[in-house]
Amino acid sequence: MKADYEEYDAIMIAHCMMQIKAKFDTDKGLNFIQQYHINQGLKKFGDDGKDPVDKELRQMLLRDCFTPKFVKDMTASEQKKAQSAMMFLAEKQFEKMIKGRLV
C-alpha cells in the first residue's frame, strides 16, 4: 500500500523523525537503564540506595498519593481493595546518581 503525502506533510514527518532520533540516539546507541527491585538494589548500591528510597517515599506521602496502613489494622474488604506497590532502584548512566521509583 503506497501512501501519498503532500510536500508539506512529508517535510513535517521528516522533521519529527529527526527530532526523535536526536532525542534518543547517542554516540553509544540507545541506552536502557537496568532497574533493580529494592532488595537487589540495596544489595548492589548499599547505603547509597537508601536515600533515593527515602526520598521517593517522602515525595509520595507529601503529595498525598496514598495513606500507609498496617495490614493487621485493615478489614478483609480493605485488604482486597488494597493495591501493591513495588520500589525499584536504578543508576542513571550519565549523571551517575541512583534513582528510586515507586510503581
Per-residue pLDDT of the chain (103 residues; tens, 9 = 90+): 566 778 888 888 888 888 877 776 666 565 667 889 999 999 999 999 999 999 999 998 899 888 888 999 999 999 998 888 899 999 887 677 899 999 8
The single-letter DSSP state of residue 74 is: S
Block residue for cell numbers 493495591: 83
Distance of CA 40 to the CA centre of its chain: 17
The terminus-to-terminus CA distance of the chain in angstroms comes to: 41
44 CB neighbour count, 10 Å cutoff: 14
Q: What is the pTM of this model?
A: 0.60
Question: Looking at the chain, which runs of residues are DSSP E strands?
Answer: 35-37, 87-92, 97-102
